[in-house]
Structures are given as C-alpha cells and as structure tokens.
Chains A and B, each alone.
Chain A
Amino acid sequence: MLENRRLLRVLRRTVVQAVPTILGIIVLNFLLLKLAPGDAADVMAGEFGAATEETMVMLRQRFGLDVPVLQQLLAYLGNLAQFSLGQSPRYGMPVSELIGQRLPSTLMLMGMALAIALGIGIALGTAMALTAGRWPDRVLSVVSLIFYSVPGFWIGLMLIVLFSVKLGWLPSGGQETIGAGLTGIDYVLDRLKHMILPATSLALFYVAIYGRLTRAAVLEVASQDYVRTAAAKGLPPLAVTLRHIVRNALLPVTTLAGIHLGGILGGAVVVETVYSWPGLGRLAFESVMRRDFNVLLGVLLLSSFLVIIANTLVDLLHAWLDPRVEVR
C-alpha cells in the first residue's frame, strides 16, 4: 500500500518534471541546429554533385525550409502535439518508422553492454577490494586503467582483428547474418553472436569505471560496524561479502549506471560505426551531417524519454536496495 502510493508519487513527479525538460530540449536543440551553417537542401544538392536553382527551391519547399525559423518550430511542435514526429524528407518516410526500425537493436546493444559492464565491473571491483594492496588488486587496477584510457574504436578494431579476421569466430560487423532467413533459436543465437563484440567494446570503458567505484565503495562499507557484527556472529565470509558489503556498495554504482545510460546512447556512435551496427547513435549522427532535423529531433526526444525513464528506475532501485532511502 505504502509502496504503491510512493511509486505513484514518483511517477507523477517524473511526468511533471519531464514535460518542461523535454520541451526545453526540443526548442534548444531546434535553435542550435538552425545555427549550423548550410541546410538539408545544401547537403542533398551537394551529394547529388549537381543541382539547378529549381532543384534547390524544390528541395527547400519539400523540407519546409522556405518559411521563417519560428514558423518551422511551431509547425514541428504542432506535429508533436498530434503525436507525430513528422516526416524525414531525405528518406521520404515517417521519422517514427525510421526510429522504430533502429530502436530495438539499439536497446539490445545498450542493455547487453550495461549488463556486461555492471556484471564484470562489480565482480572486478569486489575482487580488487578484497585483495586490496596485494598483487591481484594491482594487476586488476592496471587492467581497468587500460580499459579506461584506450579509445573504444581502437578496442573495437582490435577485437575485430583478433576474433573475426584472425580466429574467424565472430562476425566483423552488422547485426545479423544478412539474408540468412534464420528463425527461432538460430536467429537469437545469430543476433547474440553479432552483439558480443560491439557490446564488449562499448562496455569495457564502463567496466573500468564500475570496477574502480565498486572497489572504493566495498572498502568503505567493509570497515562499517555492522560488517564486523555480521562476521562476529559467525556468518561465512561469502555471505558477509555478498549480503552485507556488496549490496550496500552497489548504491553509488547504480546511480552512475543510470546517468551512463544516456551516455551510452550517445557514445554508441563510435562503436556503431566501427561495427556497422544500424543503431540510433549513427542515425542521429548522420542526421546532423545531413541536416535532417526532423529525424534528429525525434532521436533526441526519444533519448530524453529514455534517460528520464532510466533515472526513475534507478530511484526505485535505490529504494529497494536501501530501505532507508525515501523516494522523494
């Protein structure tokens, strides 16, 4: 009962805060994008490698660029009010369809990357903390520092060179075996096989962060009185570690993971490019380059939703992990 009412309050607050945030994001992004030199017609005509003045006029008309900026913004907001993300003039299809095609694979990649990062990160961090100052801690520290400092695209390429080119175990890119027409379990396995390398490349940076964070948190928690009490009452060390130390040490990690969700969405561009992965990051990047603002605004809108949802989930997760945390 109490739990449910608390949950409802959280949701109401989230919605109230989300609307102005999202509106601000749209208006700000729209205006920022308008500051970029050149418009979609310039880019498209440029890509054609040839154009006439009539082509340019026609393109601008079709892109809705022949009216003042304010009017363009109002038209966009008007569309949104009717739950339409508009059309991509470049692709000649609805933005929602373009995004819809890419959203599942992006979310899967993100989810898997975050799972890898949290799983390995927390395990590494705990191991480091438990062996603090001894050689396993030192070695793992160096390893996580390497993960942290080496750029993702390079790790990605090296993974491809090792696992695809040299060993031939995993595909070099893409999200499925194209045209194989697989179904059922084969299909799932095929998708997983394609996801391992990009998800790992994306995760390694965060593995390092979560590892360091967990190490610090575990060390701090391990010195608390209740841990000593737990050990004193005769609990086996593993139970103490898992139930009393790690669970409490998870709080800062989950907070950061919530924040990172947005970052992964944006940072995935590099990994998506290296692995030719048709994700949202690349769609957004390409829309910037092509000044296809309807698509870009759609992606940004969706991303802000995702970040808000993720943060709400983290709030709830906190309350569950630590009953003392009141969800305000």
Chain B
Amino acid sequence: MNAVRHVLGRLASAAFLALVVGFFALPMLWLATAPFDATPSITVSVPEFTLANFRAILDNPYALGSIGNSLIQAGGAAVIVVVLAALAAYALSRVRVPGRDALLYVLLLLSSVVTGTAAMVPIFELATRLNLVDTHIGVILVVSGGLLPAAIFILKDFMDATPTSYEESARVFGASPLQILRHIVVPVVRPGLATIAVWAMASVWGGFLMQYILLRDPAKSPSAVILYTLYTEGGQPNLDLISTFSLLYSLPVVLMYLFVSGRYGFRFHGGIKQ
C-alpha cells in the first residue's frame, strides 16, 4: 500500500514538474527559434536556419543606437550607484553618525514605498522643470535615486560583515584614511561592489517605465523603449527585426546574471528585484 502510494507520488511530482517546464518554456520558445528562421512567423516552428535576420538590425535606424543608449544609461547609473552607495555604506558601517539607525530605517521604507508607479507624476514634472526630459543624465539621476537606498542597505550589511583588522593595522603603519580606503577597503569589498554594479546595470537595462516617461526622442531611447515601439507602432510588425533584436537585447542580462550567480553564488536578498 505504502509502495503504491510512493510510486503514485513520484509519478504525480514528475507530471507536475513536466507541466511546470512546459508552462515556463512555452513563451520563450519563440525567442529561441524565430531569430534564426528565414521566414519568421508569430507561431513557434522549427526554423529554416539563417543568420540573415541579424542584418535587419543594421537596417533599422534606431535599433543599434538604442543598445548604445541602454549602455550609457545602465552604465552611468551603475557607476553613480556603486560609488555613492559604497561611500555612504562605509561611513554608516564604521562611524557612529547621529541618527544612523533611523536613517537606515527610513531608507529601507522609502525604497519600497516610492516606486516608479507611485512617483511617475511628480518625477515627470520635476524632470520637466529641471530640463532633464530627453537627456541621458535625467534618466541616470532618476533611476539612481530609486536604486540607491537598497544599494546602501545591502552594502552596509556587506561592510558590517568585513573585519576591521586590516584597516587597523594599516592605520598603525601610518596610512591616511583615504589611502586605507583605496588600498585596503575597496579590494576587500570588491565582490560586494561588483554585485551591486551588476544588479544596478541589469535593472536599468531591463527597466521601462522611467525611460518611457522621460524620453521622447527615439534617438535617445534605450532598447526597452525602442523594442516596445517596434511592436506597437501599428501596421504589420516586422518579426525578423523584433525577434533578433529581442534576443540581442536579452543576452547581456542573462550573461550578467550568470556572472553573478556563478561567481558569488546566488545570494538571497529580499528586495533585490525592482
């Protein structure tokens, strides 16, 4: 009886996992086949193999440029977030600044409450008045402001877990605080900095709403926005362009994810997405 129940249980769980694989793989099949299909259609089919579709990207005036724009915006935000968050996290971890705990609490609260959705109206208005609409720096500053609280929080945890003994001995040997930072602290916390950099890049690279609101000029728009206009602009969507562009645009995110999880293990951070 127990053996029967056991076998049935194994079968049920195998069937369930097969369904799960089907459900999650089904929408993605198109991304794997259509870019290499000589005559891509909206239906998934075994491709008549070709690489010619990738030329469609070169023919589109905005496609390649948008990847450059994504790079500028994601890279710029990553630099700002890493530098400012690292400085703040280090100071908050090592020095007793008055009101520190309250500050950290408010930061954590803010990062989850003030989302792009809730703040799109004032952010659009603010960017308009500061002449930041249709500029890369506008997008970079706005998204950095949104990512910083979580970045400071995660990095402070990281710095708290790093022993201070290296810093102390360097100080005994007469190194100045800034030398200690540059030559001791930065190398020690580099994995944390790399994780935050990749996380910030990936969220800006894939982000849509802020970029969509703040940019009107397609020549400044990142891939997220250009791809959306490609399939909503009306008329027959250009499937060879959409499929190859989607694939090219997705690859960096997947690679960044593999880099982080392969190098540091996938560590579980509550609010890392957003």
Is chain B a partner of chain A in the same complex?
no
Interface residues of B (CB under 8 A from A): none
Interface residues of A (CB under 8 A from B): none
